[in-house]
Amino acid sequence: MNITPRPLFPGAHVAIIAPSGPIRGDEAQREEVIHQVDAKLRSWGIEPYFYPTTKMSRGYLAGTDADRARDVMEAFKDPSIDGIFCIRGGYGVQRMLDLLDFEEIAKHPKWFAGYSDITALHIPLNQKCHLVTFHTPMPFEFVKDDFDAYTEKWVKAAMFGELTGGLLDELPSIRPTHSLWEEGSVAEGILVGGNLSLVSSSIGTDYAIDTKNKILFLEDVHEDVYRLDGMLNHMRLAGLFDDCAGIVMGYYTDCGAPEELKKLEEVCRELFPKDKPVLMDYSCGHERPTISLPLGANVRLDTAARTLSVL
């Protein structure tokens, strides 16, 4: 059983780190985003502390690997910090994984959130540190025009310990959520996964995802269907679909026109085991509105009712 960290609360001190890519733009533009994020989080009752990497830019990375790893470690070890938000994704987490001390992190369990490239951190935090973490949009998105009230509601639910029970109630889906197979079925297990490309590229490393008896969640963005096919097939050949208890497929954003996404469903029918429950087009990922998810938590997947519930 994984540790569910203490939720955030009014007045909580939250570290804002950049373990992947930088805030886009020049120094003045980065400062403006930080100013807006600071105001947004304070309006929710949170006291944000912006770590050095949030103000760094080194090409497509927010500082060196050592810079970004240092911020992760210091945020977990600092006793005055109650939780950690990754300000954005992009690319870079996998480069610094071997610079992190997961035994030390496990001694300081804290609320942690992010998604996309942050999947590469969720996996070892769930598996090596036995910590429940949160798949949520990230602070730089909180100040965008498309950050809607429904998405905000679920981010706050993750932050303040209210991400419980059914996670599909009245959820407006861009595409109707449905079972991949004609008959629905039920499975229970620890929820794992995140961004498909990061999950797939973890295979064969010390940070590979373990899907044994787990509910596997997958989403992605900006990938052609043949690329998604290749990544899913890689997972199939590695036995990850045979091992898992069930699969939830989220948003596949900018991965082709509707007819292309129909091809993705055909790929799933060919690659996924037919004796496992599979929920398609679950409203979570890189589109809005999106729900937030507790990775590492015990959940029940019911494809007949089209629900994912935290137990």
Write out the catalytic residue numbers.
Answer: 116, 219, 286
Question: For residue 114, what are the CA distances in angstroms to 20, 104, 162, 226?
Answer: 11, 21, 17, 27
For residue 52, the tally of other CB atoms under 10 A from its CB is: 15
Backbone φ and ψ of 294, nearest 5°: -95, 95
Distance (Å, rounded) from C-alpha 129 to C-alpha 238? 24
C-beta separation of 49 from 78 below 8 A: no
C-beta separation of 239 from 270 below 8 A: no
C-beta separation of 185 from 307 below 8 A: no
Place of tokens 């496990």: 106
